[in-house]
Amino acid sequence: MRIVFLTALITLVAAPVLSQEPPPTGSAQRGHQSYTKYMCYTCHGTIGQGADRGAGPKIAPGLLPYPAFALQMRTPRQDMPAYRKEFVSDQELADMYAFLLTVKPSPAAKDIPLLKFD
């Protein structure tokens, strides 16, 4: 079990270094549709912010490099279902990645006027 974990960890860390290619071109609009169609939001939230009660981790903003993202989608760790090519095409994967890349970080609490109590 330990060897499997270490192999997966090395693969996740090394994949972006080994593959310096940019992520495939995807459509954020189609990606949002696929993200909804495959019900990713049920575990990862509507924009990848993570779900309540630890159902799924936050995945955006700060998305993994594409090779690690694709590896996690195709051969996931823990409880996430596998999204094999027979069910989710490479293009749909690229589209979902493009959608998640559009998620911007939230402003800092100090920069939200309604949270300033003077």
Q: Could you give the dihedral angle defined by the CA atoms of residues 25, 7, 49 and 98, in that order, rounded to the nearest 10 degrees? A: 0
Backbone phi and psi for residue 2, each to the nearest 5 degrees, phi listed first? -65, -40
Q: What is the DSSP letter of 60?
A: S
Confidence at residue 10, expressed as pLDDT on a 0 to 100 scale? 58
Mean pLDDT lowest among 4-8, 38-42, 100-104: 4-8
pLDDT category of residue 54 using cuts at 50, 70 and 90? confident
Backbone phi and psi for residue 61, each to the nearest 5 degrees, phi listed first? -70, 175
Please, are residues 94 and 25 in contact by the beta-carbon 8 Å criterion?
yes
The sign of the dihedral angle between the CA atoms of 35, 39, 40, 45 is: positive
The string of pLDDT tens digits covering residues 21-33 is: 788 999 999 999 9
pTM confidence score: 0.76
Confidence at residue 17, expressed as pLDDT on a 0 to 100 scale? 53
